[in-house]
Amino acid sequence: KVSALAIRMDGAWGMDPALAAQALVEGTVLAAWRFLELKNKDAEDDLGTEVTELSLLVEKGGEGEARTGARIAEAISTLPAPL
């Protein structure tokens, strides 16, 4: 089981580093989300390992843009759900 994840952004797959970082962080947050409100206790116990650390490995010079994208994704992922 893995609790830390590192993703290498070689050339950001032709994407802007900020957008690539934002997509990777948002995707990781969404993948980690679990709907437990209607689950029983056994389902909660069988969730596996939670990723607690994500590292984006960026080409030299793209660190600032990637950091910006990651911060945007982090801010979006902490917004309250619309009613």
pLDDT score at 3: 82
Output the pTM of the full model: 0.74
**DSSP H or E stretch at residue 55:** strand 53-58
Compute the residue count for the chain: 83
pLDDT score at 11: 72
Judge contact between 65 and 17, C-beta under 8 A.
Answer: yes
Structure confidence by residue, pLDDT tens digits, 11-60: 767 888 899 999 999 988 887 777 666 767 666 556 666 778 889 999 88
Among residues 61, 62, 2, 53, which one has the least CA distance to residue 28? 53
